[in-house]
Structure 1
Amino acid sequence: MNISKDLKELIDANVISTEIAGKIDSYYKSKESTSTNKLFIVFGVLGALLVGLGIILILAHNWDNLPKLIKTTLAFIPLLIGQLLCGFTLLKKSKNVAWRESSAVFLFFAVGSSISLVSQIYNIDGDIASFTITWMLLCLPLVYLLKSSVVSLLYIIGITFYAGKVGYWSYPRAESYTYWLLLLLVMPHYYLLFKNKPKSNFFIVHNWFIPLSILYALGTIANNYEEIMFVAYLSLLGIYYLVGNSNFCNNQKLRNNSYLIIGSLGTIGMLLSLSFSWYWEDLLDIEFTFNTINNFAEVIATSVLFITALVLLIKQFQKKSIKQSTLIEAAFLLFTISFFIGLKLFLPIIFINLLIFLIGILTIRKGEQKNHLGILNYGLLIITTLVVCRFFDTDLSFVLRGLLFVSVGVGFFITNYWMLKKRNKNEK
């Protein structure tokens, strides 16, 4: 498409004025400039990654044949090159995003390779967890000195790996409280992205990485009363959903609203797992008294998350009518009530199944009100998944189970047909 030629044609036909044509031409040129900058950033980062990996492969191939002095020198060469590149960027290319990101990424991997190579050359003892935390702390200044969002994302991946290594994969297990401090250290950069570049791709990707990282690491604090962590998880997912329902996030495209997607899918997934009997049977067997548990980390974390979610829920209901609710945002509160009832009775399992069913119905209703097939089918999918869960969890005959599936399938067809028919009618 030749925009200049088309604009000239429109001017000659007196469709638009020369002034308007100039504004249109400037607009498309600015878009092309932005697109080019993004490509430079992507290719710059990829280039830095490929160069770093290429150096590692070349050294690895000939490593055993090299003297110790040469090995040590080679271990520090990538680090020196990375520092020189970052110094040049700060002095000469500080406003060039592509230079900042690519040089920071190169130095990030140079630091990691230098640490591991020196440890290997001189047989320095250590484990993967201590290596990771040292690497991340040494590279954290790059996030702020070079304003590198790519290094920020790599840092989040690194500390998340550290949390999993210490809290899930090590024996004996240890609480990875250090993770939370490491996460706080990168949050100012996230806040600056929110304030200065709320529509940038870097901010959108951070919106996925940070909540998923927190969700993954939350379980590492469980030690004594793991059953209460379900309250913590649902409270955290409730916070995500409520944040995703805020005015700021609602103005974004759905695929960019990570908090809403994670909060909704996570809440439904947790409730579906809790619709089976295993959890409630275990809950009846534990002795749960306030005097014995009030100092445990999982109880403190659960309390903080629950109170935060409750405050956000109250604020949402002050701004929006309760009738607009789909119950997902209040699922954490309803489950917490069920949790304390479940310490004495087995009844909450029935309530959880009814809650999932109601969420499905209200989601279908919301889809119908907004004339949105995606939301409508999401509600139908919730009910279908609940039916599938009960298919494997009940003693119903195969005939009744088959009828249930047929009913749900017919429901899918009828609701979608009715919605499409309604949409076509409104368009006429």
Structure 2
Amino acid sequence: MNSQFVKELQELVNNNVIDKAVAIKIEDYYSAKKSASPNKLFTIFGVLGSLLVGLGIILILAHNWDNFNRFTKTILAFLPLLIGQIIVGISILKKKSKTWKEASGTFLFFAVGSSIALVSQIYNIPGNLSTFILTWIVICLPVIYLLKSNMLAILHLVFSTYYAFEIGYGGFNFDDTPWIYLLLIVLVLPHYWLLLKHKASHNITSIFNWLYPLSFTIVLGTFVKDFSELGFLMYLLLFSVFYNIGKIPFFEDQKLRRNGYLIFGSLGIVIMMLIMSFDSFWYVEELLFNAQESYVSFVLAIINVLILLWFYKRKWLKSFNLFQYVFVFFLVLYVFQFNIPLAGTLIVNILILALGLTTIKIGANQMHFGILNYGLCIITALVVCRFFDTNISFIIRGLLFVGVGVGFFLVNYTMLQKQKQLK
């Protein structure tokens, strides 16, 4: 136990705040709690050790592979898998520590992959990379719940994302859509739900809070096939979903660095809108409502609406936040303003300016310099974009940048003075 904590307990006893018996109970409680909790550093090194052992075995076998006959190669192909299963079995039956389970599960995961690859190579079994990855992660999926392994769940997410990437981006034929990816993500959601329920403030849960939006952001582009302009709407709707999820009190009440949904959503919305703020973006001949992108956009729009209705039902909407409703404006723009570039461009620029001012207001109300300067950065980015596609003189452009710079200084200085007055 921390020596400073023991000293403080003794000080409370000396000052008659608590008696000796209560102090002993408190000390025993925290000592038992500390001994029961796994050593995080040991867990990390255990997982890394499993990775290195697995890679070392693969390198040794690869170096001498051509010297073995087919029967020996087959035995060696299954040997890591057998060892991994035995270790995992011991972890479950003997109820080993969390570190042991994470390390054994990681070893088994890569043993499965190496065995599949080696057997395919030995017997010349045809197949492609995406099929290999899909088979690998499906076989290892039950082990996530048998071991309650966070590392296996992370590997499942990473390899599922890579599978979708390989299907949608990895070849010369981009006609395939990785619909199975959605099923793979759903199958690991119960593990994530348990983390949110029981370990909401733990670092491992924060990792998942970042991995899920990152994975969806990477994969969504694979669903864009026939109408690329609608891909921008799809991404804006996805980022709106992230932002609205991040505004749920469960996530919003946590530290900002743990709320990957809110950060991904906010940055994504701003970036998509900046891209759409150029007038050339709105020159489109025809809007296809029967394209795959239209169906995906419709589903994402429904999800956004359902989340907002949930907010209204729970009375979580304490004030108007433009970020939560910006998808509505873009749905209207995409349906009605594609052939009127001036209207689309003007409305988007006004929306970006409004988002910047809204963010500045939120930062000022919360006395948060990060949010405040983020709002100023949005306005600066808008000015920079207009610097490249307008014909105004360089003097006016220079004055705009000077004005933004002065605004940065004045806004930050004003809030700093307010903070000093409140202290």
Measured against the shorter chain, the TM-score band is over 0.9
Given that residues 242 and 316 in structure 1 are in contact (C-alpha distance below 8 angstroms), is that contact kept between their aligned partners in structure 2? no
- Superposition pairs for residues 52-63 of structure 1, below 5 Å? 52-63=54-65
Given that residues 356 and 379 in structure 2 are in contact (C-alpha distance below 8 angstroms), is that contact kept between their aligned partners in structure 1? yes
- Superposition pairs for residues 116-135 of structure 1, below 5 Å? 116-135=117-136
Q: Does 1:269 align with 2:264?
A: no
For 1:332, which of 304, 327, 346 is the aligned residue?
Answer: 327
**In structure 2, what is the equivalent of residue 310 of structure 1?**
305
For 2:86, which of 84, 87, 91 is the aligned residue?
Answer: 84
Alpha-carbon deviations, 1:230-265, whole Å to 9, x = none? 222222211111111111112211111111111111
**In structure 2, what is the equivalent of residue 192 of structure 1?**
194
- Superposition pairs for residues 242-391 of structure 1, below 5 Å? 242-281=244-283, 283=284, 285=285, 287-288=286-287, 290=289, 293=290, 296-317=291-312, 319-320=315-316, 324-346=319-341, 347-391=343-387
Given that residues 341 and 348 in structure 1 are in contact (C-alpha distance below 8 angstroms), is that contact kept between their aligned partners in structure 2? no
Deviation for aligned residue 1:130: 1.1
Deviation for aligned residue 1:14: 4.7
**In structure 1, what is the equivalent of residue 396 of structure 2?**
400
Given that residues 71 and 121 in structure 1 are in contact (C-alpha distance below 8 angstroms), is that contact kept between their aligned partners in structure 2? yes
Q: Does 1:11 align with 2:13?
A: yes
The structure-2 alpha-carbon separation of the partners of 1:85 and 1:345, relative to structure 1 and needing over 3 Å to count, comes to: same
Give the Cα separation in 1 of the matches to 2:187 and 2:379: 42
Q: Does 1:418 align with 2:414?
A: yes
Given that residues 282 and 345 in structure 2 are in contact (C-alpha distance below 8 angstroms), is that contact kept between their aligned partners in structure 1? yes
- 300-309 vs 3-12, which moves further: 3-12
- TM-score for both structures, normalised by structure 1: 0.91
The structure-2 alpha-carbon separation of the partners of 1:185 and 1:14, relative to structure 1 and needing over 3 Å to count, comes to: closer
Deviation for aligned residue 1:184: 1.9
Give the Cα separation in 1 of the matches to 2:192 and 2:419: 41
- TM-score for both structures, normalised by structure 2: 0.92
Given that residues 93 and 99 in structure 1 are in contact (C-alpha distance below 8 angstroms), is that contact kept between their aligned partners in structure 2? no
Which amino acid letter does the alignment assign opposite residue 267 of structure 1?
I
Which amino acid letter does the alignment assign opposite residue 328 of structure 1?
F
Given that residues 288 and 294 in structure 2 are in contact (C-alpha distance below 8 angstroms), is that contact kept between their aligned partners in structure 1? no
- Superposition pairs for residues 45-124 of structure 1, below 5 Å? 45-93=47-95, 96-124=97-125
Deviation for aligned residue 1:321: 5.2
- 187-196 vs 411-420, which moves further: 187-196
The alignment partner of 1:169 has SS state of: coil
Give RMSD over aligned pairs.
2.1
Which amino acid letter does the alignment assign opposite residue 109 of structure 2?
F
Same amino acid, percent of matched pairs: 47
Given that residues 166 and 176 in structure 1 are in contact (C-alpha distance below 8 angstroms), is that contact kept between their aligned partners in structure 2? yes
Deviation for aligned residue 1:344: 2.6
- 23-32 vs 127-136, which moves further: 23-32
The structure-2 alpha-carbon separation of the partners of 1:34 and 1:342, relative to structure 1 and needing over 3 Å to count, comes to: farther
Alignment coverage as a number of residue pairs: 418
**In structure 1, what is the equivalent of residue 24 of structure 2?**
22
Q: Does 1:233 align with 2:243?
A: no
- Superposition pairs for residues 145-156 of structure 1, below 5 Å? 145-156=146-157
Deviation for aligned residue 1:289: 5.5
Unaligned regions of 5+ residues in structure 2, if any?
Answer: none
Alpha-carbon deviations, 1:165-222, whole Å to 9, x = none? 1112222111111211222222222223233333333322222212221222122122
